[in-house]
Structure 1
Amino acid sequence: MLMYYANFVSSPEGYFQTVLCNAPRFVPTVANHDLHHIQWDVPPRQHPHALTLGDMDRMVRSDAPFARKFARDDPVLDAIDAQLLGGRGGNGTAAGMFVRGGWCGESGDCEGAAGAEDWVLRPGPGAERLRRLMDRIVRSEAFANRQCK
């Protein structure tokens, strides 16, 4: 398997799933979905379409927690930081931090967070999107037929 992936175009994207699907203990826990929003050109090319601000709405509606491919320094990356990740100090998040109100205090103070629940990671807005996606995946009629074989 290592020899195969050493010569595979996108080896990091398939290696982990291949290992899981070949470990009998994990086969029943694997969903055939990589949790990525990817847009391909028609007809498909070797690499996916580079996502831009024009793709933002479709990307968010996909509910996928990951997306690719992005051009370096494209404005869509700043939009993701500001609107989805709450970066740049917005939405109660300390500047440069992505976790809102979780391991940090409600004020965004990560250094002085203390108290009975300072270990709790509270779900942010993306948790609901992930829940919807996972519901669609596991409730699909094709779910059992699309697991590892």
Structure 2
Amino acid sequence: MEPHFLNKSDYDQMVQSGAAFGRQFHKDDPVLDMVDEKILKRGRNRAAPGAWCSGWKGWWMDPCSQWGDANILKPGPQAKKFDESITNLLDDWSSQSNQCK
């Protein structure tokens, strides 16, 4: 069987799945730009924004053009989905290991 390469037609399903990771993608596939723009809120040729961005956001200004403390971690909206996914995995694993064999 040939592997399925994710593309634009898979985007909605990828988002709804809540999965933290995805594979396989063709190099430079447009769906990667969609993930950057819509999920990571990352502009073209720019870093993904985070709590370390200390600049002002404006029409011509990228807030990530100035960096503050790069060690600051502040979860964004996708982190909540990731937390829920990991919690569900751990709960499933825990319930399986507590079953009688």
Are the equivalent residues in 2 in contact too, given 1:103–1:120 (CA < 8 A)?
A: yes
- Give matches, 1:49-88, under 5 Å: 49-88=4-43
| Pairing partner for 2:52 from 92, 103, 112 | 103
Are the equivalent residues in 2 in contact too, given 1:103–1:110 (CA < 8 A)?
A: no
Are the equivalent residues in 2 in contact too, given 1:99–1:124 (CA < 8 A)?
A: no
Structure ID, larger Rg: 1
Aligned to 1:134: 86
Question: Which runs of structure 1 show a deviation greater than 6 angstroms over 4 or more consecutive aligned residues?
Answer: none
Aligned residue type for 1:69: Q
Q: Which has the higher helix share?
A: 2
Tell me which of the two structures has the higher relative contact order, counting C-alpha pairs closer than 8 angstroms and 6 or more residues apart.
Answer: 1
Q: CA deviation at 1:119?
A: 4.5
Q: CA deviation at 1:139?
A: 1.8
Aligned to 2:77: 125
Q: CA deviation at 1:128?
A: 1.1
Counterpart secondary structure, 1:66? coil
Are the equivalent residues in 1 in contact too, given 2:5–2:25 (CA < 8 A)?
A: yes
Aligned residue type for 2:15: V
RMSD (Å) for aligned C-alpha atoms: 2.4
Q: CA deviation at 1:62?
A: 2.0
Unaligned runs of 5+ in 1: 1-44, 90-94
Q: Percent identity, aligned pairs only?
A: 30
**TM-score, scaled to structure 2:** 0.71
